[in-house]
Structure 1
Amino acid sequence: MPLISDSCLDQLFRNARTHSAWLDRPVADDVLRQVYELMKWGPTSANGNPGRFVFVRSREAKERLRPALAPGNVEKTMQAPVTVIIAYDLIFYEKLPKLFPQAPAMRELFAKNPQLVEATAIRNSSLQGGYLILAARAAGLDCGPMSGFDHAKLDAAFFGTGKDHEGCDEEFFPEGQVRSNFLCNMGYGDPTKLRPRNPRPEFDEACVLL
C-alpha cells in the first residue's frame, strides 16, 4: 500500500503533464523557495548536491536566455513565468567537509579525479532536476523540462565573464565552475493547450525481474 493518497500520486505522476503553454499568473518567490526546500532532501552521491539552480524570471533575464534557445523552444520559454536553469558545480566537492563530514577523505578523492567529478556532477544534477520537478508538482506548479538549447551560449551568458556576466553573482558563479545541464519551464500550465497524452512502455517492455 502506498503511504500517500491516490490523489497525491495523481498530482505527482499520473495526471501531471509536460506543459508548453502557460497562464498569465506569476509564481511567488516563497513558492520557489518551498520547492527548493522540498527537493534538497533527495539523495545524491556522497551527499554532494552538485546541482545549482537559476530561476530566470525577469524579462531582462529571459532576453539573455533567448539567443541560446532552439527555435521551437523560444515562445514557450518567453511565456513561462519561470525558467529554471538546472546546472552543476564542477567544484561541488569543496562543500563535502560540511555536507559529508563522516568521510573526510572524500573531498580529496574528487579533487584528484576530474573525470569522476564531471560524471558525478552531471548524473547527480540530473537527479536533482528530477526531484525539482516532483517538488514543483507537489507545490501545485506545472513543469516543462527540455533540452534544445546551446550550452556554450547559455553558459557564456549566465556563468561566464565580462558583459555577458552582468546580473549574475560572480561569487556564486565563478568563471568556468558552473555548467548547464537542462532547462525546465515552470508555472501554471494552460490545460486547454494540452495534446493527448503519449503512451509509456509497459512494465514488461522496460523492466526485468531477476
Structure 2
Amino acid sequence: MADVTAPLHLSPQDRELLFSEARTASTFTDEPVTEEQVRAIHDLVKYGPTAMNTQPLRVVLLRSAESRERLVRHMAEGNQAKTRTAPLTAILAVDTDFPEKAGTFFPDRAAAIRESFTDPEARRRVGQLSASLQIGYFIIAVRAAGLAAGPMTGFDAEAIDKEFFTDGRLKTLVVVNIGRPGENAWFPQRLPRLGYEDVVTEL
C-alpha cells in the first residue's frame, strides 16, 4: 500500500524513469518500436486533461524510409540525421476541426461543444493548448514504455503541413523521434533547471 504521507507515490525507480534521469535522445539503436508499444503509449496519453475532453492531438507515425525522407527535407540541418536513423518518428499535430470529434462520446453535447468553438481564434487557442498538454503526456508515456523520446521543433512547419496534411486540417506542432537510446545519445551534461523559488509564488 502506498504511503499517503510521502510527498510522491512513485518509487525512486519510476521517478528516474519518467523524470529525473530521463533525457532527450539524439541517437537511437535500430531496435524497432512495435505497434503494441505505440498502442500502450496512446492508452496513457488519452487520459491527459484537455478542454471539454476535446482531445485535439493527432499522431502521424513515419516508419518507412520513404515517408521519413519526405519529412527529413523539412527538418533543420541539425535534426536531419537523427530523424533519418530513429526507428520511429511521430509528427504530433493539432486537429483544427477538433470540435467535430468532441461529441463522439456524448452526442447530446455535440452541438454545444461545436457552438463553443465557432470563433476561429478561440478554436485555435484552445486546440493548440490542449494538444500541447497531450504532447507532454506523450513524452512521459514514451518513457513509461521504456523508450527514449527526442522531441524537436526545429523544422519548417508550413512545409510539413503541405507535405503531409494537404487538406489543411492538421497543423504540425512537434516532431518526436522514438526508440531505444543509442551510443552518445545524450549531451555530456544535463542543462540546469530553474529552482523552486524561481518558479513558484504562493499568495
TM-score (norm 2): 0.91
Q: Is the contact between residue 81 and residue 186 of structure 1 (CA under 8 Å) also seen in structure 2?
A: yes
Q: How does 1:191-210 map to 2 (within 5 A)?
A: 192-194=184-186, 195-210=188-203
Structure 1: unaligned runs, 5 residues or longer: 161-174
Q: Which amino acid aligns with 2:122?
A: L
What do you get for the CA RMSD once the two structures are aligned?
A: 1.4
Structure 2: unaligned runs, 5 residues or longer: 1-5
How many residues get paired?
195
Pairing 1:184–2:190 present: no
Identical pairs, percent: 38
In 1, distance between residues paired with 2:193 and 2:108?
41
Aligned equivalent of 2:3? none
Q: Is the contact between residue 48 and residue 100 of structure 1 (CA under 8 Å) also seen in structure 2?
A: no
Q: How far 1:103 moved relative to its partner?
A: 4.1
Q: Is the contact between residue 46 and residue 100 of structure 1 (CA under 8 Å) also seen in structure 2?
A: no
Q: Which amino acid aligns with 1:198?
A: L
Q: Which range is displaced more, 186-195 or 141-150?
A: 186-195
From 62, 65, 69, the equivalent of 2:71 is: 65
From 114, 126, 130, the equivalent of 1:124 is: 130
Q: Secondary structure in 2 aligned to 1:87? A: strand
In 2, distance between residues paired with 1:184 and 1:107?
30
CA deviations on 1:3-22 (whole Å, 9 max, x unpaired) are 22121111000010111011
Q: How far 1:159 moved relative to its partner?
A: 0.5
Q: How far 1:191 moved relative to its partner?
A: 5.4
Q: Is the contact between residue 18 and residue 143 of structure 2 (CA under 8 Å) also seen in structure 1?
A: yes
Q: How far 1:148 moved relative to its partner?
A: 0.6
In 2, distance between residues paired with 1:102 and 1:142?
41
TM-score (norm 1): 0.88
Q: How far 1:138 moved relative to its partner?
A: 0.5
Q: Is the contact between residue 142 and residue 186 of structure 1 (CA under 8 Å) also seen in structure 2?
A: yes
In 2, distance between residues paired with 1:26 and 1:188?
9
Aligned equivalent of 1:107? 114
Shift of the 106–187 alpha-carbon distance from structure 1 to 2, 3 Å rule, reads same
Aligned equivalent of 1:171? none
Q: How far 1:106 moved relative to its partner?
A: 2.0
